[in-house]
Amino acid sequence: MAAAVLAGLLCAAGCGSDGGSGGGDHPGRSTAPTPTPSGDPAEQAAYLVRHLSDAELVGQVLMPVAYGYRADSVSKQSAAHNRSIAGADTPAQLVRRYHLGGLMLVNEGGGAGDPTAQTNPTSNIATPGQVRRLTGGLQQAGRTAGLPMLIGTDQEFGTVLRIGTGISPLPTGLGVGAAHDAKLTRTAWAMAGSELAALGVNVDFAPDADVLGGPGNTVIGSRSFGSDPTAVAGQVSAAVGGLQSAGVAASPKHFPGHGHTSTDSHRAMPVLTQSRAQLDAQDLPPFEAAIRAGSWLIMAGHLDVQSIDPGVPATLSHKLLHDVLRGQLHYDGVVVSDALNMAPITDRYDGGQAAVHALLAGNDLLLEPPNLTAAQHGLLAALKSGQLPRSRLVEAARRVLTLRARLARFGQPAASTVHSAGHEKVAQQVAAAAMTVLRGRCSGPLVSGTVRLTGGTEQKRAWLAAALRADGVSVGDSGGTQVALTGYGDTTADLAPDAAVTVAMDEPYLAAKVHSPTVLASFGATKESMGAVADVLAGKAAAPGRSPVDVPGLPRSAC
């Protein structure tokens, strides 16, 4: 039934909320009110699903993208993109028309949080202030019976960072792993979660729970916490706990593990050739740890797991999602698919069929269907024909609504929370803890005289130069001691053979190929990471980190 009626039903039970404007295009049922629910999120959800129309139930399980920087007013180009995938102009119109339970925030092609990207028609993220205004408008459009809608993004930090300006950044996943301090990890992700919550983002499709199988995996690369399943499991557990303590749902990914393949699942389906025993020992421990930590979501990956369901993406595999994730690992939270607009899905099914198969396989939330209208129509048609049992749709919607009810218990932090002095201190602590000496001295200044910086980007060199000068080190444009920055797509051809110091900012594997007497790994290229590099070079700080992956010919730490 209409959201206004639902709001009255739930508020009669003491929800204390203003309801919201969730009206749409489909009539609801005239179901008589049932006994009022308790404040328990699961009971609230079970109560609500009994009063939702089929179209409203379908809306709960869809989490598309809607382009534009405001909820109710977007550029002509963004409106055209929205019409092409959903037949509506603005994000708010999409939310109301499809009774959506969630919406995805993306930054495609404009750089992570680039303020100039507001002309990008395929983005909805620019600055923290803009994101907060957008999410506020979306919540006005999308509340169901007083429950906040799910607003999610991919904020992993490192190479996957959707909101990149005006926030307190963390280093890469490998950097957090190098710090090898679960307590600090929890603190860091609680900080990150509180900033997301302040911006109105209540779902983070993070942390990455993939265990790296070796240097050949450049797809996951520095997104992972490392190559040791036990260590990665500890980091994943801490990150989940930190995020969710701040009222942001974590979503460890990519189940059952993307770390032992070099194929990019955006473009083709990776094949996992491990035996079942190897999968259990190498890939599943971080997901088991996430479940023990109470993760509210887990993301399924588009992965062909040969030992369990060969030829079928995990996102469409009942054997993996039901038998393994639900049965073996006893997970009862929300299973969210990886984006359904990726090649392993679109190569097999059209938008309607993909949505039906994903729901039947065991996903509860369908991320980024390529065409929202097709996904909705496909699910409703399958429901009518009996291909999709109504019990499966209700089960999925109930899990999503339980999450929404759980998130309703958290208030939104003030905007001043974002990039506060306290948060900046946490970001600096994590960057400093990640610093690792792979070759060279472990104390005292590592450079002398004037320093010349090469490699990296102009911005990274500027950050490092400013930090070195603040530490009393002279920086010049020629001569002197060469400090070379490397990482983020660099190859051996980009290495500086005569550099006195080489700093690996991303994956550390190239460090095995340099001849510098001093080799450092920062595992990050943020301003805070460059500050930590400067402190180590100047002898102002030690480098306590240990590489979370093996680098051929080098120790995990020279210290």
Q: What is the pLDDT of residues 153-177, one digit of tens each?
A: 999 999 999 999 999 999 999 999 9
Residues whose CB is less than 8 angstroms from the CB of residue 129 and which lie 6 or more positions away in sequence, other chains included: 166, 415
**H/E stretch holding 367:** strand 366-367
pLDDT the model gives residue 37 = 63
Q: Hunting for tokens 């180590």 — which residue is that?
A: 536
pLDDT the model gives residue 90 = 97
Distance CA 441, CA 517 (A): 9
pLDDT the model gives residue 118 = 60
Burial class (CB in 10 A: 0-12, 13-18, 19+), 327: exposed
* β-pairing verdict for 102-104 and 366-367: unpaired
User: What are the b/e assignments for 400-435, b being 16+ CB within 10 Å?
Assistant: bbbbbbbbbebebbeeebbbbeebeebbbbbbbbbb
Segments making up each domain of the chain, as ranges: 44-417, 435-537
For this structure, is 338 an active site residue? yes
Report residue 234 CA to chain centroid gap.
Answer: 18
**How many other CB atoms sit within 10 Å of the CB of residue 436?**
31
pLDDT the model gives residue 109 = 53
Which of the listed CATH numbers 3.30.70, 3.40.50, 1.10.3470, 3.30.160 matches domain 435-537? 3.40.50
Are 44-417 and 435-537 the same fold in CATH? Answer: no
Distance CA 291, CA 293 (A): 5
Distance CA 418, CA 135 (A): 15
* CATH architecture designation of domain 44-417: Alpha-Beta Barrel (3.20)
- 18, 40, 266, 347: the catalytic one is 266
Distance CA 546, CA 555 (A): 9
φ, ψ for residue 273 (rounded to 5)?
Answer: -100, 5
Answer yes or no: are the C-beta atoms of 20 and 8 closer than 8 Å: no
Residues whose CB is less than 8 angstroms from the CB of residue 434 and which lie 6 or more positions away in sequence, other chains included: 171, 175, 176, 178, 179, 521, 522, 523, 524, 529, 532, 545
**Residue 337 pairs with which residues in a beta bridge?**
300
Residues whose CB is less than 8 angstroms from the CB of residue 440 and which lie 6 or more positions away in sequence, other chains included: 446, 501, 517, 518, 519, 520, 558
- Using DSSP, state whether 453 is helix, strand or coil: strand
Q: Extract the tokens encoding 24.
A: 């749409």
Q: Extract the tokens encoding 208.
A: 């990455």
What does the radius of gyration of the chain's CA atoms come to, in whole angstroms?
24
**Residue 250 pairs with which residues in a beta bridge?**
204
pLDDT the model gives residue 39 = 86
Report which of 296, 279, 280, 159 is spatially closest to residue 239, judged by C-alpha positions. 296
- 89, 228, 283, 338: the catalytic one is 338
pLDDT the model gives residue 488 = 87
Model pTM?
0.92
Low-confidence ranges of the chain (pLDDT < 70): 1-37, 109-119
Q: Where are the alpha helices (DSSP H) in 471-547?
A: 527-537
For this structure, is 54 an active site residue? no
Distance CA 489, CA 475 (A): 26
